Chain A
């Protein structure tokens, strides 16, 4: 995972509460075998007209928000399905930072696994950011993870809170699995002390192959 320290970018506003992950990546794209290329599918049903022609009314298609890398959003962003395709699409589209008053739990968690910083700010500050984004052409924000601040060119400065461990993981780009495997001894000890087995007491119609290698 790429470390995240500081990011400056154009802000795009998504003025809608409860944006669910079905909207971020509709079901027909959940059959892919890789993590790549989901940017094209982001907000697919809102973003395109039939024939994949960009819908000029959808905000991310407005010329002024082309190249945006900071997404300003409303409450409970990312609710619904656990699909990690949603953060993959957000990142592949070019967003590195999300700013919203709240997020759904699974989505929030998934963002950190992909190097996306979901910033949480109170409603009044979010309202102010929406106002500035809509009023100012080419409105940019700088998000500094080290300092935990959101700033713009005209003196706005908001501080945000973040769990210190999650912050450190993002700053260093740490691999989650690698981190956990530091505790291999503890895992092995747990398995010795609390042995787990799943016993099939009657035969079932299941394919079990001896693992290769």
Chain B
């Protein structure tokens, strides 16, 4: 997809694969034949530049045809470079400016409560995104309103646009910060598929407070030359790199 468009963000897409697999293939209540189903669970991609992994799972679930994936980022495609709602079924929010998804998810959760509906919102954030002040405004608000129907997940791959997160802006102790804001917090290996499923399932049982799952991941997971490097945050592979990458991940 990213090769075909010669543009996009492979690193943060690959680090989120197990998280989206758990949500779209196991945990979430959704119906590809009825993407506007009022009782569907909402998946909110706050790190909207990693939309290639979302499109891949939307195709896997039948929201999109596989062939359409190759139109990503090209003229006249529905598959915009950052996720855009009202364009592709299954894309719940327009993003691309970091920090906005958790607030949006909070709005959905408040509406669910008002309407007496039992759907949940699952919001995926990046770790570089934790630098945005709005994230912490939303963290405070979701806890204030006791939103047990909200699960946020941080794809903590340790790399952001210009370098390692630890060098750009220290975030430690991240889990303690979320706990201090009143959230239930779990820390897991974000590439252990079973652990990801179990943590998200467990979050569904938390009541009276929102849930955070901090998933330790590897940027560019599965592709040796992309792993753990900022260089592959927002760049497309060439033909040779594409072949090597597909061979390594066994696609």
Are A and B associated in one complex? no
Instruction: List the interface of chain B (C-beta within 8 A of A).
Output: none
